[in-house]
Amino acid sequence: MTLEAVRDEARAFLADHFPKWRKENNCDAELDFEQQRSWQRYLYEHGWGVPTWPVEYGGRGLGMLESMVWNQEKVAAGAHTFFNLVGLGLAGPTIIARGSEDQKGRYLPPLARGDEVWCQLFSEPSAGSDLGNITTRAEKIDGGFVVNGQKVWSSGAAESDRGMLVARYDADLPKQQGLVYLLVDMHARGVDVRPLRQIDGGAHFSEVFFTDVQIGDDDLVGAPGDGWSVAMTTLTNERMSLGGGFGTFAMSFDDVVAIARSTGRIDRQQLVDVYARRVVLDVLNNRVQSALFSGKIPSAEGSVIKLLMAELGTATADLAIDSLGADGMLAADAPSAQQRFLGSHAMHIGGGTDEIQRNAIAERVLGLPREPRPDKEVPFRDQLRS
């Protein structure tokens, strides 16, 4: 199936089905959580729920290039949501690539239908950019593991049914070798989810505490010691998921211009800056598409796109609030602009901080040497930690 054929089919499907679905479900405004779930189920029933997954798991077997086209058409139709992004974009592909056949059979169907929502349980108070510092413990017992510890900044954990957990099972091994990757029931005894209130009033992130949580061997992905490798599979899919629909992370240029015109506060230089940033992102996305079309796997482009995507989100939100003046402080008068402004700085952290992206660019594009890692072969229990 050619790229244009995918685009034509996707565009025709969305034009025919999305308005009809919205009308039947009385979706006049922005979709809430359950409406997003319903839309995901509708897409699954019509063959578009997980288009990049293999056919045997409910997908269409589309490649990365076709997936980008699908995302572009969803954004253009206003049908793109972030429902269960962690589950559909991270957990599913990780289980497909690294999970057992039993795990695929148990977890992929309800995930694809939108029946179960997943979260990512990686970051900890002292293990964010360097996941090798994880201290959450997974003690081996007969038939499974007992987990104790804390995770933080877990997106959507309060609404999740299951999670992907990386924990330490052997502190005598170097920090990247003594890890396990477990699939956890978020409703299990000993799992305590505490939402974190954000500056914009929402609570999209949570801290999660584990107290003697029992997880069976059948929920271990890979073998003990494979945790770091499986986690890298998840993080690779995370970057692809974030880059696929960058336009939805920032206000549209037309919306920013409309606000500036309505208030009469038109800063042409800032508008030119925002427009140029969006054009650069379009060019980079086209470059990635061209590379994929030629059979090449992009390297540092993902880091560049992630970094510029965050900067564009901040630039558009800042300009909108500047144009609104004092009215920008009133959520009732400008909910979209205010929410975008208050949430824009999170994009510089989630999915890899700006500093991490710049390190990747420095090493892969500029050829600068990697930072020294004197602790790489030191047993974790012997490492100095704050």
- Pick from 158, 192, 225: which residue ends a domain? 225
Q: How confident is the model at residue 295 (pLDDT cuts 50, 70, 90)?
A: low
Which residues in 73-85 are b (16+ Cβ under 10 Å) and which e? bbbebebbbbbbb
Query: Which candidate in 238, 301, 355, 371 is catalytic?
Result: 238
Q: How many residues does the chain have?
A: 386
Q: Would you give the DSSP letter of residue 123?
A: -
Residue 43 lies in a domain: yes
Asked if residue 249 and residue 175 are part of one domain, the reply reads no
For residues 212 and 268, membership in a common domain is answered with no
Q: Which amino acid is at 320?
A: A
Same structural domain, 220 and 251: no
Is residue 59, in this structure, part of any structural domain at all? yes
Does residue 262 sit in the same domain as residue 331? yes
Tens digits of per-residue pLDDT, 239-283?
A: 556 555 444 567 888 888 998 898 888 888 989 999 999 888 888
β-sheet bridge partners, residue 205:
155, 196
Q: Please say which residue of 83, 100, 134 terminates a domain.
A: 83
Is residue 28 one of the residues assigned to a domain? yes
Bridge pairing between strands 191-196 and 205-216: antiparallel
So what's the pLDDT on residue 82? Answer: 83
Q: How many domains would you assign to the chain? A: 3
Q: Check whether residue 216 and residue 249 sit in a common domain.
A: no
- How many other CB atoms sit within 10 Å of the CB of residue 214? 15
CA-CA-CA-CA torsion sign (179, 307, 296, 52): positive
- Are residues 126 and 48 both part of a single domain? no
pLDDT above 70 coverage of the chain, percent: 92
Kindly state whether residues 250 and 353 are assigned to the same domain. yes
pTM score of the predicted model: 0.84
CB atoms within 10 A of CB 291: 16
Of 234, 251, 238, 293, residue with least CA distance to 4: 293
The average pLDDT across 210-224 equals 97
Whichever domain contains 210, its CATH number is: 2.40.110.10
Active site residue 238: yes
Task: Specify if 96 maps to a domain.
Answer: no
- pLDDT tens for 111-160 read 999 999 999 999 999 887 778 889 999 999 999 999 999 999 999 999 99
Q: Residue 234 falls within a domain, yes or no?
A: no
Verify that 35 and 134 share a domain, yes or no.
no
Is residue 210 situated within a structural domain? yes
Dist CA 358 CA 99 (whole Å): 32
Token digits of residue 83: 């429902």
How would you classify the pairing of strands 118-121 and 162-168? parallel
Asked whether residue 377 is domain-assigned, the answer is no
- Identify whether residues 263 and 308 lie together within a single domain: yes
Is 106 part of a structural domain of the chain? Answer: no
Rounded to 5°, angle at Cα 160 from 184 and 152:
75
Select from 329, 164, 315, 157 the least CA-distant residue to 250.
315
**Looking at the predicted structure, is the pLDDT value of residue 237 above 90?**
no
Is the domain of 196 the same as that of 133? yes
* Other Cβ atoms within 10 Å of 127 Cβ, number: 20
Same domain, 191 and 268: no
Domain region containing 180: 118-225
Q: In percent, how much of the chain has pLDDT > 90?
A: 50
**Residue 32 Rama label (left phi>0; alpha psi -120 to 50; beta):** beta
Q: What is the pLDDT of residue 298?
A: 62
The domain that holds 283 is classified in CATH as: 1.20.140.10
Q: What is the DSSP letter of 226?
A: -
Residues 313/250, Cβ–Cβ less than 8 Å: yes
Least confident of 19-33, 86-100, 184-198, 328-342: 328-342
Residue with tokens 């998840």: 234
Q: What average pLDDT score do residues 57-77 get?
A: 87
Q: What is the pLDDT of residue 247?
A: 47
Same-domain pairing of 263 and 220: no
